[in-house]
Structure 1
Amino acid sequence: MLSRLRDNIVTIIETVDLIHTFGDGTKALKKVNLTFKEGEFTVITGANGSGKTTLLKHFNGLLFPASGKVLVCGRSVAEKPMSARQNVGMVFQDADSQIVGETVYDDVAFGPENLRLDRSEIDRRVGLALGDVDLSGFEEKSPHNLSGGEKRRLAIAGVLAMNPRVLVMDEPFSNLDFAATRMVLKQVLKLHQNGHTIIITTHDLEKVLFHAERLVVMDKGEVVDDGRPATVIENIGRYGVRPPCSVLFERGLQPWEI
């Protein structure tokens, strides 16, 4: 799997000395330099307030740098935000915040309709996106009557209907039970196998780390480690992130002893 990290793979997202400052003067990101290759499956972790979500919002122009730059497909996000949003689709932690339609069909169709596509193309994209997340047959259901896991998958479908090259997900397993977590993870892995670049933020590594090719650790707005998960996980506890149970079992330790 790590063959995807070869130098000849196309760079799809790059941050160069990225700094973001909140209105009160707090530096949320401090000279972040990261490169994401096309087809990678990356997990970004860190304690609450480490800058994970703030970083993601720069990838599709929801936020812009105070200094430094973010490039998507070689183009500056600050200069070409619409291009970034076409290439990078983001699924937020709160799936309800992304629901805009009265029916599942309407919700997924919202993005393509705003692209002014013809109805046949919209129908095609909606059908494909719902099929990708196992929600075919849900078209006429109300999104607000779906389960938490189904809402998360609907949010993914809404992003997929825009045909992005990169799928960015902020804490995708938050507030989901075991069954819903398995279903969402299944869809994410399917999308990765089909060629999508996947970037996930989470502080709960247990559910997804086994499938990742790369682990990035953030602490107080900085990247403090970056590499193969098996290597990076060795020091994860010092940054306020609980190691997966497998690591604890191997060492015979309690979580507070890492």
Structure 2
Amino acid sequence: MPDDGRYLSGPRHVAIIMDGNGRWAERRGRPRLFGHHAGARRVREVVEACPDLGVKYLTIFAFSTENWKRTQIEVAGLMSLFRSYIKREAMALKEKNVRVRFIGDRPGLDHKLQAQMDELEAMTEHCDSVNLTIALNYGGRDEVARATKRLAQDVAAGRLDPEAIDEETLPRYLDTRVLPDPDLVIRTSGEARISNFLLWQSAYAEYEFIDTLWPDFTRDVFAGLVGNYAGRDRRFGGVKA
């Protein structure tokens, strides 16, 4: 991959696995949902920091396909939180010129939430300061499976020549097809795993695993990680001249 100037600059696209809400609440003797509400408030600060840091695309992992395994109380509370977040933040996001997109298995969510997601996407479709993508009911393997199914349907219908399929073909069927691949993936809370997040897209991303719990993730922490990225030598499998 040619040098495009990003070796010495900050990341254009940052993806974040927002982990640690539950533990943050438990350390304070509060229910886990208290931590999720604190984490939701932190999102605004991070989104608003993006323009000053040169981050054009921000993708956040809000709810995974595996999170349905949590207790019914926590899942119901999270779904309520997502609905209230969209209702509360919609106008602020538009006023800040933030374009919002959702990725994931949307039909697996309740109809009211789906309608709110559609409305927020439509409301912000002409915004262009920051592109905020929210991964909701998302799993990397599930995304690839759904993309492969659509690709196979196009082959069966004669719209796609199987001999023409290469590594550039599948991304056109992914949920993220209109987004650049992430340059930097951050995971909070001290866990050093990617948890089925953007598996295809992050093949050459830089990773930062930090101990900070998500509700404690401040603008300054974010800025520090973006600054660290600028000093990394990204060779994409090659040798820098």
Which is richer in helix?
A: 2
Q: Identify whether the pair has TM-score above 0.5, normalized to the shorter chain.
A: no
Which is richer in strand?
A: 1
Shorter-chain TM-score bucket reads 0.3 to 0.5
